[in-house]
Amino acid sequence: MLWLRQFFWVEPMTLFDGWFGTTWVEGEQRILSWQSRSPVFTIIGQRIPQTLTVIGTAYLVGILIALPIGIYSAYRQYSLVDQAGTLFAMIGFSVPTFFSGTLFIIIFAVWLGWFPTKYDTQLEVTDWASFLQQVKQMALPVMTLGLANAAAISRYMRSSMLDNMGMDYVRTARAKGMSERTVVLKHVLRNSLIPVVTVIALGIPSIFGGAIITENLFGVNGIGAALIGAIHANDIPMVQTLAFIFAVLIVLFNLIADVIYGLLDPRIRYD
Amino acid sequence: MTDATAAAEKPASQRRDIWNQFRTHKGALFGLITLGILIVAVLIGPYLWVPEKLSVAEAIKLKNQGPSLRFPFGTDQLGRDMLARMLLAGRVSLAVGLVAMTIAIVFGTFIGILAGYYRRLDGPLMRMTDMFLALPLIPLLLVLVMLFRDRVAGMIGPELGAFTLIVFAIGITSWMATARIVRGEVLTLKEREYVLAARSIGARPNRIILRHILPNVVSPVMVAATLGVAEAIITESVLSFLGLGFPPDFPTWGRLLFDGLQYMQVYPERVIWPGLAISLTVLSVNYIGDGLRDALDPRIRGR
């Protein structure tokens, strides 16, 4: 009960007070972490930038890799590119991130020495050199996660494209004498993106949840790392709050995905 | 003598059809062979490859060895033979995958059939499925293991306790996909004429379900089951990897990888072997699932 009151009343109003200088909940007890004795939301606030930059970039990179692969392998079904794409997706599905991550560390950090093994959270981007360093230290976690994300999304893209390629309107567009480029990239792609967009939306909560394993492996001090640290330290308020936020995000993005689907595809109507 | 001619040209049985279609899928065949080799290796390997008994002093002298004829995979930081550990770990990893998948499939099918067949149960059961789907899985598993590990270990011993807890936890958090698939199938199947016919001659619901509906949902369930094994193996290794899986002297592939991480820079092979084993297993299981899906789909099989 106390936790509910704290979560739904004290914490939002603390934020409100902080913005507008009011004193609605002055002196009320906030949700405190048992580890550090500081409010859980302060910790989350500190951790979320790392998670969003690293995991968010990885998600974007994944999407950017996946879409061309998916489009091309559907356009040239059973071609060499398609089979390579299938193999890539299969490997991306099957190799768990903790193994691909360690492999990347061994190859790119230990043997080649291109990137640092650990993510330095203290680094502040002030000039060009530090920006470059930030990019370098982000490279490995982004690669690891991007690969895993790209695998799933490229499969969805491919099958969705394949479904649409056989449709009558594609034949009509070709018969009108439109260039192949317009047919594929305008007509087919736009229709095929509808289910893919919802899949992408469904994946967004996992960005906030942070990839627990990847963060753990590379020492990214994000939400996932906070959760696992809290679990090891039996820090129940922290675990409870984080788990609740994850659950809310998942429900929220499920709803958003449904609504987007309805907006993008006029054939779907919710009565 | 019509019997003779009938025997001469054997009518293609459904099973043979499926196998013929399955064989054309190269990836699936590769997966089946790889998985077969892995299973045979972990089942009979520990009997064939018995590591020599070393005293503690000898073991310490032999620690951190590279691959050699005596130790094909080298030894770890305590002088233990890595090959023997890999084989034993494989047993546990595969067993976790299979048992957790069985739990998930049985539970998922049960829920799916109830929800699909009885309209009254549909709402509540599917909302429960949605609720489980909304739970963040890995955090939930971590919390479950954290909360109950000591209690279960106290009841039935640390090793069996960890096994039971992990298998059970993975099982009850991965049945939702199966339940949804089965419900969808049952919803269409129960409107078919043969179900109507069965009902009209007075068959009881549980007889209709067991004799008429269940055999027809087997193929999607089988696909879900293969993919479930892959998922369960990965989940178990994630737990082990995060240090919340099995105790250290009870190796699984994920645990070996986790143990090898500290020595990654000097002895990368200690990470690579278990990682490779997990990846190969999951890859081959996924390919088998892919092949099965094609083989069991009569629309594709005809071609």
The pLDDT value recorded for residue B303 is 47
Pick B61 or A61 by higher pLDDT.
A61
Nearest to B135 among A105, A247, A254 (CB): A247
Pick B228 or B296 by higher pLDDT.
B228
Note the ipTM here. 0.73
Could you tell me which chain A residue has the CA closest to the CA of B289? A90
Pick A255 or B247 by higher pLDDT.
A255
The pLDDT value recorded for residue B73 is 67
Q: How confident is the model at residue A234 (pLDDT cuts 50, 70, 90)?
A: confident
Cβ of residue B117 closer than 8 Å to a chain A Cβ: no
Inter-chain CB proximity A254 and B134 less than 8 Å: yes
Residue B9 has pLDDT above 60, yes or no: no
The pLDDT value recorded for residue A176 is 87
Residue B12 has pLDDT above 70, yes or no: no
Note the pLDDT tens digit of each residue in A111-168.
887 777 777 767 777 777 777 877 887 888 888 888 888 888 888 888 888 888 878 8
Inter-chain CB proximity B279 and A250 less than 8 Å: no
Q: Which helix (H) or strand (E) holds B245?
A: none
Note the pLDDT tens digit of each residue in B143-176.
788 778 778 777 777 777 788 888 888 888 888 8
The pLDDT value recorded for residue B70 is 65
Q: What is the DSSP string of A160-212?
A: HHHHHHTSHHHHHHHHTT--HHHIIIIIIHHHHHHHHHHHHHHHHHHHHH--H
| pLDDT above 90: percentage of residues in chain B | 2
Could you tell me which chain A residue has the CA closest to the CA of B260? A102
Could you tell me which chain B residue has the CA closest to the CA of A93? B283
Pick B8 or A232 by higher pLDDT.
A232
Contacts of A110 in chain B (CB under 8 A): 264-265, 268
- Residue B51 CB neighbours (<10 A): 16
The pLDDT value recorded for residue A21 is 67
Contacts of A208 in chain B (CB under 8 A): none
Inter-chain CB proximity B237 and A90 less than 8 Å: no
Distance of residue B293 Cα from the nearest chain A Cα, in angstroms: 15
Inter-chain CB proximity B272 and A228 less than 8 Å: no
Contacts of A106 in chain B (CB under 8 A): 264, 268, 271-272
Q: Which residue has the tokens 């390629």?
A: A165
Cβ of residue B139 closer than 8 Å to a chain A Cβ: yes
Contacts of B238 in chain A (CB under 8 A): 96, 98, 213
* SS3 assignment, position A225: helix
For residue B281, which of B90, B19, B99, B47 has the smallest C-alpha distance? B90
Report how many Cβ contacts below 8 Å link chain A to chain B.
91
Contact A188, A165 (CB under 8 A): yes
Tokens of A263: 């907006």
Inter-chain CB proximity B143 and A231 less than 8 Å: yes
Residue A10 has pLDDT above 70, yes or no: no
- Residue B22 CB neighbours (<10 A): 18
Pick A164 or A6 by higher pLDDT.
A164
Q: How confident is the model at residue A209 (pLDDT cuts 50, 70, 90)?
A: low
Cβ of residue A162 closer than 8 Å to a chain B Cβ: no
Residue A26 has pLDDT above 80, yes or no: no
Distance of residue B34 Cα from the nearest chain A Cα, in angstroms: 14
Note the pLDDT tens digit of each residue in B37-70.
888 888 887 777 776 666 666 666 666 666 666 6
Q: How far apart, in whole angstroms, are the C-alpha atoms of residue B291 and residue B104?
A: 21
Distance of residue A6 Cα from the nearest chain B Cα, in angstroms: 22
Note the pLDDT tens digit of each residue in B73-112.
666 766 677 777 788 888 888 888 889 989 999 999 999 8
Mean pLDDT (whole number) for A97-123: 79
Which A-chain residues 77-136 have CB contacts (< 8 A) with chain B? 90-91, 93-96, 98-99, 102-103, 105-106, 110
Interface mutation vs chain B, best among A91, A94, A155, A244, most B CBs within 10 Å: A94
The pLDDT value recorded for residue B298 is 65
Cβ of residue A10 closer than 8 Å to a chain B Cβ: no
| pLDDT above 90: percentage of residues in chain A | 0
Q: How far apart, in whole angstroms, are the C-alpha atoms of residue B132 and residue B179?
A: 11
* SS3 assignment, position A39: strand
Contacts of B261 in chain A (CB under 8 A): 102
* SS3 assignment, position A7: helix
Note the pLDDT tens digit of each residue in B218-244.
888 888 888 888 888 888 888 887 777
Distance of residue B21 Cα from the nearest chain A Cα, in angstroms: 17
Residues in chain B: 303
Inter-chain CB proximity B278 and A105 less than 8 Å: no
Distance of residue B263 Cα from the nearest chain A Cα, in angstroms: 11
As a dihedral over the C-alpha atoms of residue B142, residue A58, residue A221, residue A92, rounded to 10 degrees, the angle is 40
Q: What is the DSSP string of A66-101?
A: HHHHHHHHHHTTTSHHHHHHHHHHHHHHHS-HHHHH
Cβ of residue A226 closer than 8 Å to a chain B Cβ: no
Query: What average pLDDT does the structure give for chain A?
Result: 80
Mean pLDDT (whole number) for A9-13: 68
Residue B1 has pLDDT above 60, yes or no: no
Alpha helix (H) residue ranges in B9-81: 14-24, 26-48, 56-61
Cβ of residue A138 closer than 8 Å to a chain B Cβ: no
Inter-chain CB proximity A213 and B272 less than 8 Å: no
Pick A17 or A187 by higher pLDDT.
A187
Distance of residue B141 Cα from the nearest chain A Cα, in angstroms: 11
The pLDDT value recorded for residue B231 is 84
The pLDDT value recorded for residue B6 is 45
Q: Give the up-direction half-sphere exposure of residue B240: CA atoms within 13 A in the CB hemisphere.
A: 34
